[in-house]
Amino acid sequence: MSIKTHTSEHLDNTEQTVNEVRQGLKFRPVLHALTSNPGVEMMNYAAGRDNMITLAQGEGDSPTPDFIARAAFNAMQDGKTVYGPTLGQEPLRRALSDYYKRIYELEIPSSRFFVTASGSTAMHLSLAALLDKGDEVVAITPIWKNLLGAIELTQADTKQVSLDYSDEGGWQLDMDKLFGACGPKTKVILVVSPSNPTGWSASQDEMRAILEFARARGIWVLADEVYGRIVFESTHKHLRADSFLDVACADDLLLVVNSFSKSWAMTGWRLGWIVGPPEAEEKIRDVALYNNLCPPTFTQYGAIAALEQGEDFLKEQIDLWRSNRDYLVERFKALPRVHMAYPQATFYAFFKVDGEPDCKALTKRFVDECSVLLSPGCAFGQTSKGYIRMCFAVSRRRLEEALNRMEKILV
């Protein structure tokens, strides 16, 4: 009798354990505490609907150029389909060094470039290398939700410092507010410049001040410069934004994250890079080794082609996006309820509408009434509620149709 009872209790306990696992209770607590992603929620809300114009994600209509695809295909045929170095193929690291010399006029040795399987992975590896539980990141917002989520996974804390907005001045950074947010637990200052979603870019003076402040306190600066080539006006020889690398010393506590996705229509290729100080090479390699061992091998030869042959394609894209921006601005000017800063960089309109404080509700209306999918501003930080992000890196025909549909709500 006792044996049967024990067996019955054991089976009951086993069933309870299985049910707990099925309910996800055995996963790390941090996964249960992750904040929601309103952008993903809205994509799920619109999923499966017919005739939907999707302008919620950061990519355009153009496919990857043939010369990039051919380079990757040739690499596959040449047998470059095996494991490679953890921080990337040496030919690609050299090509990145040459690219920065040509476009940025900076002498950076190839050993300071760490190739990663996507810009997102570059950010995850950087955060994993720098943060422990209880550390603090001071992040300039509005900011892409995935970056905030990546910080949450490290169990570090985040302080959000919002850019200030006015219709006259657009988005501006209050340096006193940024520096005042930093405290004894601050390990990283996170800056996305040019900014997704606002189009704001830090000036060289602002970058220099941030680096000087961080240098004096032993704080890392983590700079996301994924949109560094997507600018519409520039004082540089080549069209580009200012970079923290323009004003940094080689041994600064600075990691710069970048990606092939946006500039060369390679979003699905998942390939990025980090530029770091010499001391970071070994540590980033240690983290990457246990993440995915190495970036995909053959895709890196497509990336070399993008760096070496991609300027004409990028110029064509910028010309289209600049034209789309100007068209969008003129359309919004005719709608008094719409407020938006003039985008100087990136391919996003980040706008708000008088009388529409709930950005999720407004985004749902665009889906339900207009068949247009956008991204709610509350996905980009605590102070972005009420805003909407719209990607205009698409054909003029598609953009015009989306605005025609949206106008009945915006008037």
For the chain, 411 residues long, give each residue's pLDDT as a single digit of tens: 444 455 555 555 666 666 665 665 678 889 888 898 999 999 999 999 999 999 999 998 999 999 999 999 999 999 999 999 999 999 999 999 999 999 999 999 999 999 999 999 999 999 999 999 999 999 999 999 999 999 999 999 999 999 999 988 999 999 999 999 999 999 999 999 999 999 999 999 999 999 999 999 999 999 999 999 999 999 999 999 999 999 999 999 999 999 999 999 999 999 999 999 999 999 999 999 999 999 999 999 999 999 999 999 999 999 999 999 999 999 999 999 999 999 999 999 999 999 999 999 999 999 999 999 999 999 999 889 999 999 999 999 999 999 999 999 999
Contact call for residues 62 and 317 (beta carbons, < 8 A): yes
Q: Where in the chain is the domain with CATH 3.90.1150.10?
A: 33-63+312-410
Cα pseudo-dihedral 88, 92, 98, 102, rounded to 10: -110
Portions of the chain given CATH number 3.40.640.10: 66-309
Cα 405 from Cα 238, distance rounded (Å) = 37
Buried b (16+ CB within 10 A) or exposed e, 247-264: bbeeebbbbbbbbbbbbb
Is 375:363 a contact under the CB 8 Å cutoff? Answer: yes
Q: What is 33-63+312-410's CATH number?
A: 3.90.1150.10
Structure tokens at 239: 């069209």
Which CATH number, 3.40.250.10, 3.30.70.260, 3.30.460.20, 3.40.640.10, labels domain 66-309?
A: 3.40.640.10
Q: What is the dihedral of CA 272, 67, 317, 359, to 10 degrees?
A: -40
pTM of the model: 0.92
Classified as helix, coil or strand, 274 is strand
Asked if 301 and 71 count as a contact pair (C-beta separation under 8 A), the reply is yes
**With contact defined as beta carbons under 8 Å apart, do 134 and 185 qualify?**
yes
